[in-house]
Amino acid sequence: MSDVVSIRGPVSAGRRRPAPVASGARNQLADAQRCLAQAMAATDLADRYVAAHLGALRGAAAILAMRPHPTSRTLKNASAWVQLEKVAPEYADWATYFAAGSAKRKAAEAGITRLITTDEVDQLIRQTADFLDLVASSLRAAA
């Protein structure tokens, strides 16, 4: 493989800069992990739900940043969960699970908490943690 060339010129021999997509994926994963930490630290039920769900969404964005996107206009306008299911079918069950919580996240963002329970939020946090572990493994494998 030849040396990577950036806007600033060739990279010195033996040192390569990460590809922009890989860098974007790592940034998305870092954001996702921060959201998860916020969800775990928050005391308000709505804040916990929103932060956990946004963490999962950023995890999906990390996967999408690593994968080539279809040029279909329909898919480009689809939710991250629909895109994830199409672009990375091995994450289809995760996409279905998190997509089901999107309306509840929007309600929680609006301060409506009657739709969520403490147990449901705890489960979402656990599922998000598991999902982000898989995303991190995918990023390491792709590096």
* pLDDT on residue 9: 35
* pLDDT on residue 76: 65
Contacts 24+ apart (CB under 8 A), 31-38: 31/58, 32/56, 32/57, 32/58, 32/59, 32/61, 32/62, 32/132, 32/135, 33/132, 36/125, 36/128, 36/129, 36/132
* pLDDT on residue 4: 35
* pLDDT on residue 15: 47
Query: Can you give the pLDDT of all 143 residues of the chain as single tens digits?
Result: 333 333 333 344 444 444 555 788 999 999 999 999 999 999 999 999 999 999 999 999 999 988 876 666 656 668 899 999 988 999 999 999 999 999 999 999 998 989 899 999 999 999 999 999 999 999 888 87
* pLDDT on residue 23: 85
* pLDDT on residue 6: 33
Report H helices in 89-117: 92-100, 102-109
pTM exceeds 0.85 for this model: no
* pLDDT on residue 70: 63
Phi/psi of residue 2, nearest 5 degrees: -80, 165
* pLDDT on residue 33: 98
Beta-bridge mates of residue 9: 6
* pLDDT on residue 141: 85
